[in-house]
Amino acid sequence: MSHIINKFAPEVLIAGILRLINDKGLRTKYLSHLDPVYFCHNLEDQQSLDIKLLVKSLKSIYDAGRDTQISLKTMSTLLHQNLGDYRDLDRFLLQYASWSHDPKIADLSKDEASFNVFVEYLKVIAVAKNVQPFSTDYQAGNISKASDKLSGMLNTVRLIEGMSLADSLSNMDIEELILKSDMDNRRFFSIGCQPIDDAIGGFPEQTLNLIIGATGNGKTATSHHILRTCVETQTYCYISVLEDRPDSFIYKLVAGITGIDINRLKKGNLIDSERTLVKKAKQDINEYIKADFVYGQDVATIHRLANDYDQLRMAANKPLPFVNIVDYTGHIAAKSNGDKGFEKMRNAYAERKDYALQSKKVCFDFAQVNREGAKRQNDEKILTHNDLAGAFDISQVCDNIISINRNAMNKSESTAEFHISKARDGINGVTVQVGTQFHKARFDMKDFRVIQAPPEFANQYNKL
């Protein structure tokens, strides 16, 4: 890898490093990806050694918790503290001063194209750091470990490549940021119920959306409704199934897509028109839906499988899944014996949110409510995120939280109430009643009534 790493001009590397020193937003994002071992790899000329020392110095200074713009005086003081035994320190400081005042490097440090090349260099380093461990495990036949290293490498490169809010705010004013947001063409997903979609503000990429409910309220039916919507809108989806059997999952999925009663599907006594619908559903499922049955797995394994599937589709030049579903999060295994209870769930949701941000997908997770929540619902109370199973505050992790409500009084009825407990970019507290078709494993989201919302919001839908 050295010949690839070292094809980048030293001036571009120096300019990129100096820009990190002078831009806290960029520094926050990229500092962890600076690695003095791989900068100017295997080069021993004085300029390359100085660049490696500069990177090592910055890492030492910032890793010690000192996050500041570094002047020559600050650099001198801190280097003497951290690298006082370096015999050529004074000469290095003169070199640093020379770089800082070099007009060519100053121009490069302000040039976006030059900085983009520097970011490409960081990506090459990320690959170089993982190539040897990956190759060692692969040649030794440790395919699982090799796959983990490959997924880690790809995630790191994807993270380096992504645009962060810190970058935006540090390089443009608020007006420019708003204009840029309008031009970004951020992708959204619709679940097909207009008041829910509008109250949430749409389900955008890079969000974690949690759907909760007591046993029998329709969590799995909601996941299948989302799958059905993916098929209808030709949106690619990956789902991790943690509790349902493959045959049960397929029956529900086909029933939801075709509208054929599940029991009739199981009996197989179908008329020709229904067989045609099933055949079409099979084609659509094969095209748009990928399901992995991952019983008793931790979050890292679930994400590794999803990332591996993405890589296969990329290699085949096929579209990547935009929607990612976990049904349901309560079955995610702990990482270790010491990672149990609320810690397991807290860590699971935190990792799911990180995955949504890094992969630029819209994620839907399903979770069970606690016993108190189930009792509250039987008392005809609306469920909120406070009724989640697990003693921790998840509201800061998830972007949107929706509860499915069917108390003892209306479980025999053909309706359910979707309550928006949290909408990060929308309206909290909206409750929408929709029709249920559980014999077809789906909801009738077109049959809705807004029963709780600000009047101006509710009126525009209840008149439809």
Q: Annotate 49-84 with b (16+ C-beta within 10 A) or e (fewer).
A: ebbbbbbbbbbbbbeeeeeeebeeeebbebbeebee
Instruction: Spell out where 265-321 has E strands.
Output: 289-293
Report pLDDT digits (tens) over 389-401. 443 456 678 899 9
Question: How confident is the model at residue 166, as a pLDDT?
Answer: 36
Amino acid identity at 129? K
Q: Of 199, 459, 452, 154, which is closest to residue 312 (Cα–Cα)?
A: 154
Lowest mean pLDDT segment, chosen from 3-7, 10-14, 59-63, 211-215: 3-7
Dihedral of alpha carbons 453, 455, 457, 460, sign: positive
Kind and range of the H or E run holding 208: strand 207-213
Report pLDDT digits (tens) over 400-412. 999 999 865 555 5
Question: How confident is the model at residue 8, as a pLDDT?
Answer: 64
Return all residues near 221 (Cβ < 8 A) that are at least 6 apart.
252, 256, 436, 438, 441, 442, 443
Would you list the domain boundaries of the chain? 2-176, 188-462
Question: How confident is the model at residue 124, as a pLDDT?
Answer: 72
Q: Of 186, 192, 225, which is closest to residue 366 (Cα–Cα)?
A: 225
Confidence of residue 24 (pLDDT cuts 50, 70, 90): confident
Mean pLDDT of the chain: 76
* Range with the largest mean pLDDT of 72-86, 179-193, 445-459: 445-459
Report pLDDT digits (tens) over 55-85. 877 777 666 655 555 566 666 666 666 555 5
Return all residues near 237 (Cβ < 8 A) that are at least 6 apart.
226, 227, 230, 288, 289, 290, 321, 322, 323, 324, 325
Report pLDDT digits (tens) over 119-131. 877 777 766 666 6
| Radius of gyration of the CA atoms of the chain, in A | 27
Higher pLDDT, 292 or 59: 292
Architecture in CATH of 188-462: 3-Layer(aba) Sandwich (3.40)
Vertex 159 angle, CA 176 and 49, to 5°: 100
Confidence of residue 182 (pLDDT cuts 50, 70, 90): very low
Omega before 328 cis (within 30°)?
yes
Give the pTM: 0.61
4 pLDDT more than 60: no
